[in-house]
């Protein structure tokens, strides 16, 4: 058999034949030197599911964090609500205290006025009693009233008639005889000691103790009867 010689130029057109692998279709064969590394990478990226204890711990931690957040929010809200309520209550209490103070001041003013009126009434009662006692002890005190009337004698066109209690008439004649001029001293037993009446041509002047007392208390804004 004659040998077939293949030229070198034609040998380049042929490819070397290699045996096909038996890997299933779609599965790539790992390159040499990479199989171990890729297996390690696949094992490191595998999903690890938490255990029941870990899930319960996560729930407990979430529950505690939620409780703490809710407590802080509730505390802040309650604190603000409490502040508002306390402020409103304080304002109401201040209003009550102001009204109470106003009423107290008004009552105190009324009490002061009442006390002042009572003290003035008491003072008038004491003055009236002291005057009565003084006229009994020193009846000559009425001479000052008569002297004042005689000094006004020039204002009248006609002589005066001076009516006095009999005992007072005797005192006037004794002590004021040089001041009587044309004034006539008359006796009136109905008059009290210290009282007098003056009769002129045009009328009569009441200078009794009761009338003089009434005029005095009226100037003080009071009402007090001499005969009480």
- Comparison of pLDDT for 191 and 6, the residue scoring more: 191
* pLDDT tens digits for range 88-100: 877 888 888 888 8
Q: Model-level pTM greater than 0.75?
A: no
- CB of 135 within 8 A of CB of 107? no
Residue 176 has pLDDT above 80, yes or no: yes
- Give the Cα separation of 32 and 19 in Å (integer): 17
* Long-range Cβ pairs for the range 144-148 (8 Å, 24+): 145/194, 145/196, 145/207, 145/212, 146/172, 146/176, 146/196, 147/176, 147/179
* pLDDT tens digits for range 139-160: 888 888 888 877 766 556 667 8
Confidence (pLDDT) at 159: 76
Cα atoms in the 13 Å half-sphere on the side-chain side of 13: 4
Residue 179 has pLDDT above 60, yes or no: yes
Residue 2 has pLDDT above 50, yes or no: no
């Amino acid at each position: 058999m004659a040998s077939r010689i293949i030229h070198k130029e034609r040998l380049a057109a042929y490819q070397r034949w290699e045996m096909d692998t038996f890997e299933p279709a779609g599965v790539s064969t790992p390159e040499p030197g990479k199989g171990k590394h890729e297996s390690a990478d696949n094992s490191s990226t595998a999903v690890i599911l938490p255990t029941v204890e870990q899930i319960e711990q996560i729930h407990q931690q979430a529950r505690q964090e939620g409780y703490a957040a809710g407590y802080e929010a509730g505390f802040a809200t309650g604190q603000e609500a409490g502040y508002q309520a306390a402020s409103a209550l304080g304002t109401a209490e201040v209003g009550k205290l102001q009204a109470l103070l106003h009423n107290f001041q008004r009552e105190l003013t009324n009490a002061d006025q009442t006390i002042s009126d009572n003290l003035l009434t008491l003072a008038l009662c004491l003055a009236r009693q002291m005057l009565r006692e003084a006229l009994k002890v020193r009846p000559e005190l009425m001479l000052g009233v008569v002297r004042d009337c005689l000094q006004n004698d020039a204002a009248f066109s006609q002589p005066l008639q001076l009516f006095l209690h009999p005992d007072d008439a005797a005192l006037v004649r004794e002590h004021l005889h040089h001041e009587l001029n044309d004034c006539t001293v008359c006796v009136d037993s109905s008059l009290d000691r210290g009282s007098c009446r003056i009769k002129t041509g045009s009328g009569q002047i009441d200078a009794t103790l009761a009338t003089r007392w009434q005029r005095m208390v009226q100037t003080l804004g009071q009402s007090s009867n001499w005969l009480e």
